[in-house]
Structure formats: C-alpha cells, structure tokens
Structure 1
Amino acid sequence: MHIDIDKDVCIGAGQCALAAPGVFTQDDDGFSELLPGREDGAGDPMVREAARACPVGAITTSD
C-alpha cells in the first residue's frame, strides 16, 4: 500500500494517529507523518480508516 500525506493540506487534527497509531504520528509542529518503517502501512487494517477520518482529506492511500 502507498500512503501519501499532503503536508500543505494537513491541519494537525491528529485523527490519523488516533485511528492507526501503529502507522501515523505527529511531528513537533503537530502535523501528521508516517512512523519510520511503516511507510507501506505495515498491514494495519486501520490505515484506510485513518485516511477517511482526516477532516481535510490530507491522507490518500493506494494499492
């Protein structure tokens, strides 16, 4: 799976980190980022839910 976070759109709501904490975190400025080694989603079934939960649609996934 490919996960893309549009940093220009992200507002730092943190919904992705709440939905899939094993894949997403927030940087020092509060914006979403992928955890090291989790760039492919690591098989976490909540990655797509995390993308849907983003209030501004900053996260996209593709297979």
Structure 2
Amino acid sequence: MKILLDQDKCVASGQCVPAAPDVFDQREEDGIAVLLTDGPAAGAADDVQQAATVCPTLAIRLAE
C-alpha cells in the first residue's frame, strides 16, 4: 500500500492523525497533514484506510 497525500486539498481537520498516528501528523504552523511514511507497516492498513475514509476533502488516496 502506498499513501498519497494532497496537501493542497487538506483543510487541517486533523481527522487522519487519531485514525493513524504512526502515519500522519500535522504541521504546527497551519495544521496541514504530513506523512510520516508513505509505506506503512502491514498492520497499519486498516488505520490508514480509516484515515482516508474520514478525510473531509479526500486529500488521502491509497494505491497498491
């Protein structure tokens, strides 16, 4: 699984961070999401899928 994050679409809602805290964080200055890794551990797949689902602007996309 590869994670694609479009920071231009991100509105800093922060929903991705609690869903997958090992994969996403937010910039302090504006709250925009950042990827901690674009290829998470296999055990994090469900969390990453949840983060993509709860993103209000669909800024997170998943690719195989």
TM-score (norm 1): 0.87
What residue identity is the alignment partner of 1:57? L
What secondary structure, in the 3-state scheme, does the structure 1 residue paired with 2:4 have?
strand
Residue 39 of structure 2: aligned partner: 40
Deviation of residue 42 (structure 1)? 2.1
Q: Which runs of 4+ in 1 moved over 6 A?
A: none
Q: Does structure 2 retain, via aligned residues, the 8 Å contact 1:23–1:42? A: no
What secondary structure, in the 3-state scheme, does the structure 2 residue paired with 1:46 have?
helix
Give unpaired runs (5+ residues) of structure 1. none
Structural RMSD (CA): 1.0
Give me the identity figure in percent: 43
What residue identity is the alignment partner of 1:41? P
What residue identity is the alignment partner of 2:62? T
Equivalent residues, number: 61
TM-score (norm 2): 0.86
